[in-house]
Structure 1
Amino acid sequence: MVSQWEPGTLYDYGAVVEYEHNTYKIIQPHRSQSDWTPPVTPALWGRMHRGHGSDRLREENDTSKQWHEHKTQQIEIPHEERQKKWYDLDDQRKKELEIGGGLLAGAVLLGGGFAAWQHHKKAEEDKKADAWALQNWIHGAQTRAEEFHKHGSPEAVTWVLTYGKNIPSGAIEGGYDQGHTLYIARAFQDGGILLGKASDWFQKGAVIGYQKKEIQLDTYEILVGNSNAVKWVDVRGPFSLGSLGATPVKGGEENDGTTLYIAQAPYGNSDPIDVHPGKIAEGLDGAFIPYDGTEKKVEEYLVLCYA
């Protein structure tokens, strides 16, 4: 008999639960919490339904790729290995991960429609790289979130995985737009961890900027912590770590490995003018913020640094 889903439970591979008369199978191991119910966390649970003429349950978003044949198998992936890009792994290790189910979680997420820029147009090896990067981000994000929910807000700041319009307590304010508070968000996109903004009045919960577009997402991390442990530092023009005079908070990275830092800049026609969080990187001559369906460059901006 399948057990009912319950908050505060550690679910591992192989777990199958019922929730609101539907059946779900685990995608990523995690400790459940009240606002992470199966219907709103497709990155954690895959919905299942009964096939015609059979009592056997099957996954609703089954992705029948050639390179995940043995779906029931799992393979141990050390923490150090998760920090590597797919292309940095040797051929033997790649084969072990493919056959042993080491790409399963990322493949299921992508098959379920998780954000990956033009994933369907990519070569098979690039699709594997997407799956590898996505599942490693989700794994790390869940670990950070579990630590946060177990131990509370840190002395400085940390990133907490959230879904939809659920803004965690202690989220660092990143700006405001038409009277609504904006928070600092980041999410996986095309192999990178890109920066943006979150608010409970956005359509899905968060938006990031990528390829000169504003992309809406419902699975993302949000920056939380002690607001007194950070400060905003004024910058004008090209960004240089050496001339900043403070240590910036790392926000994420482009898919080529370029480190991204958290920026904030005024933009718009309101009075007073609205302020939006965005991104900056070494050598850029302005901050980029997602705004009105695209990305806007602002030459006078602030960078979030440790106090």
Structure 2
Amino acid sequence: MVYQWEPETQYNNGDVVEFEGHQYQIVQPHRSQSDWTPPVTPALWARLPEQYCQPGQGGGGYNPSYEQPQQQQQQEPVNDGQGKQWDEHEHQKVDIPHEEQKKNWWDLDDKRKHELEVGGGLAAGLGLLGAGYYAYKHHEKSGEEKKAQVWGLQGWLTDAQRRTQEFYQNGPQGPVTWVLVQDKHVPEGAFPAGEVDGEPLYVCRAFHEGSIQVGKVSPRLDRGAVIGYGHNEIHLATYEVLLGDRRAVQWVEAHGHLDLNELGARPVEAGKESNDTPLYIAQAHYHNGIHPGKCSTHLDGAFIPFGNTEKNVSDYRVLCYN
């Protein structure tokens, strides 16, 4: 049975609650507080896909020319002995050490892959896909490519939850930090990196297609955040927001291809392409506004998500440490 979320309540592994019409599953056991509602504490709660129901109930680079990991042979569907395929699990029953989660799916041996598949080891990544699950199911990828994508998504989510929990428990550990966010709940201390019509835009990052892309956040956006990828805007409801001390960073002018030697300061690394090329935080003037986006040594200028596509801007600024 699913109960309504309540403050001052001890929640443990396996618990599922309902809050504001959505269901959430426990990530970290804890005693709830009035200001730690599920939507604003994704380190503690994971929002379940809308089609999720409890047993017994009725009824989320840039450049397409980048080389992708070599495809492995298509394998026969794997089930857990109870008829469930690897992508039909709702709960994880297999332990995944933190160090293993950092590995690439392609680097795991076949025996371990099988253990993860039959034990629901990709359940968290599948859950995070949520509304994007349909597109994932019909994407033109091999079975192994889909597993690799979900595994990478899950690894990013696990690290983001850990960072967020440490922030809530211990406060910031450096000049900038990233906090996991759900929907349009922009956390206090979010770093403003642009504005439109007098309203601030903040910096986000999120996993997409084997990469961690940089974009912008605003309560005005459909789902809370957008990133740019493959000349498209990708709308996201689960993402990380940059928090930071404004006195510890500065904006440095740049033009065209980013030359790290000419910046005169160390840029804030925010993401990476699927081939591990670092992505940095940029801001650029466009269409009567200032928009955050991404830049890199391999890109010709900054790329900002805008108007359902990506805009390439030659003159931009890079966020750097003082």
TM range (shorter): 0.7 to 0.9
Mapping for residues 218-229 of structure 1, pairs under 5 Å: 218-229=237-248
- 2:165 is equivalent to residue 166 of structure 1: no
Moved more, 4-13 or 148-157: 4-13
State which of 293, 297, 308 in structure 2 corresponds to 1:282: 297
CA distance in 2, matches of 1:23, 1:214: 25
- 2:69 is equivalent to residue 66 of structure 1: no
CA distance in 1, matches of 2:284, 2:190: 19
Q: 1:86 to 1:247 in 2, by over 3 A?
A: same
Q: Which runs of 5+ in 1 are unaligned?
A: none
SS of 1:160 mapped into structure 2: strand
Q: Which runs of 5+ in 2 are unaligned?
A: 60-82
Deviations 1:65-89 (CA, angstroms, capped at 9, x unpaired)? 6225776552222222222221122
CA distance in 1, matches of 2:236, 2:285: 23
CA distance in 2, matches of 1:23, 1:284: 40
Corresponding pairs, count: 293
CA contact (8 A) 1:116 1:189 kept: no
State which of 43, 47, 52 in structure 2 corresponds to 1:44: 47
CA distance in 2, matches of 1:241, 1:90: 38
CA distance in 2, matches of 1:39, 1:221: 12
CA distance in 1, matches of 2:301, 2:228: 14
CA distance in 2, matches of 1:80, 1:231: 34
Mapping for residues 17-96 of structure 1, pairs under 5 Å: 17-19=17-19, 24=23, 26=25, 28-29=27-28, 34=35, 36-37=37-38, 43-45=46-48, 49=53, 56-57=56-57, 66-68=85-87, 74-96=93-115
CA contact (8 A) 1:234 1:301 kept: yes
- 2:301 is equivalent to residue 301 of structure 1: no
Shift in Å, 1:242: 3.0
CA contact (8 A) 2:282 2:316 kept: yes
CA distance in 2, matches of 1:207, 1:50: 31
SS of 2:163 mapped into structure 1: helix
CA distance in 2, matches of 1:38, 1:170: 17
The share of aligned pairs that are identical, in percent, is 48
Query: Residue type matched to 2:240 in 1?
Result: E
Residue 104 of structure 1 aligns with which residue? 123
Deviations 1:81-106 (CA, angstroms, capped at 9, x unpaired)? 22222112222221221122211211
Shift in Å, 1:263: 0.8
CA distance in 2, matches of 1:135, 1:12: 21
CA contact (8 A) 1:196 1:209 kept: yes
SS of 1:282 mapped into structure 2: coil
Structure having greater relative contact order (Cα 8 Å, sep ≥ 6): 2
CA distance in 2, matches of 1:159, 1:67: 31
SS of 1:57 mapped into structure 2: coil
Shift in Å, 1:161: 0.8
Q: How does the TM-score come out when normalised to structure 1? A: 0.83
Shift in Å, 1:248: 1.1
CA distance in 2, matches of 1:70, 1:292: 36
State which of 255, 271, 274 in structure 2 corresponds to 1:252: 271
CA distance in 1, matches of 2:12, 2:154: 15
Residue 113 of structure 1 aligns with which residue? 131
Q: 1:117 to 1:281 in 2, by over 3 A?
A: farther
CA contact (8 A) 2:25 2:46 kept: no
Q: 1:136 to 1:208 in 2, by over 3 A?
A: same
Q: 1:253 to 1:30 in 2, by over 3 A?
A: farther
SS of 2:86 mapped into structure 1: coil
CA RMSD of aligned residues (A): 3.1
Mapping for residues 199-238 of structure 1, pairs under 5 Å: 199-238=218-257
CA distance in 2, matches of 1:187, 1:10: 30
Q: How does the TM-score come out when normalised to structure 2? A: 0.79
Shift in Å, 1:13: 3.5
Shift in Å, 1:18: 5.0
CA distance in 1, matches of 2:135, 2:18: 33
Q: 1:249 to 1:12 in 2, by over 3 A?
A: farther
CA distance in 2, matches of 1:265, 1:69: 43
CA distance in 2, matches of 1:76, 1:259: 30
Q: 1:119 to 1:256 in 2, by over 3 A?
A: farther
